[in-house]
């Protein structure tokens, strides 16, 4: 099971890296076409806008995996260990519920778009790139729900790999 999770994490990281590289390449191509040829790709701007949303949600999904998301941990520092565990579970489940609500709302937006679709770019309906909203928030909800039943980090604790990454960065 651990190997499967590691493979999924690597695939997620690869997808995030490819998405970022693609957006950068598309942006540079647009700049070059406009500077040197006074033209551009008609479809590039909507793809870039939606790509940024995909990048944000994929990045947020990665942050939840690595526990690098924004978290307020002042109260757990003050609680005894048993209450710390309960507070951890409660906050993770609450966050999972919020993400699930956002996924449900995203699904509603997607369904409205499917009822009266517009054209995103040639050959692609507008609802297709919107799949990222319900999918991204549903996966985050799942990650938070699973984390609720795991061991909480020590109050003020930074995971070893997070600390190693921050020390390696100048």
Tell me the pLDDT of the chain (170 aa) as tens digits.
Answer: 788 878 888 888 999 999 999 999 999 999 999 999 988 898 999 999 999 999 999 999 888 888 877 776 677 677 787 788 888 888 899 999 999 999 999 999 999 999 988 888 888 898 999 999 999 999 999 999 998 898 877 665 555 444 445 455 55
DSSP states of 72-98:
--HHHHHS-HHHHHHHHHHHHHHHHHH
Distance, CA of 16 to CA of 56 (rounded, Å): 10
């Amino acid at each position: 099971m651990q190997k499967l999770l590691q493979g999924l994490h690597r695939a997620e990281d690869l997808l995030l890296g490819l998405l970022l590289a693609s957006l950068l390449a598309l942006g540079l191509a647009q700049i070059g076409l406009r500077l040197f040829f006074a033209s551009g790709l008609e479809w590039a701007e909507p793809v870039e806008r939606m790509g940024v949303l995909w990048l944000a949600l994929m990045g947020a999904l990665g942050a939840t995996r690595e526990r690098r998301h924004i978290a307020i941990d002042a109260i757990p520092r003050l609680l005894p260990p048993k209450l710390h565990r309960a507070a951890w579970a409660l906050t993770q489940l609450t966050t999972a519920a919020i993400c699930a609500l956002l996924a449900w709302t995203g699904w509603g937006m997607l369904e409205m778009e499917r009822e009266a679709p517009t054209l995103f770019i040639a050959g692609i309906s507008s609802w297709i790139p919107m799949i990222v909203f319900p999918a991204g928030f549903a996966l985050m909800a799942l990650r938070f729900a699973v984390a609720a039943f795991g061991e909480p980090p020590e109050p003020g604790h930074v995971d070893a790999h997070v600390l190693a990454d921050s020390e390696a960065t100048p």
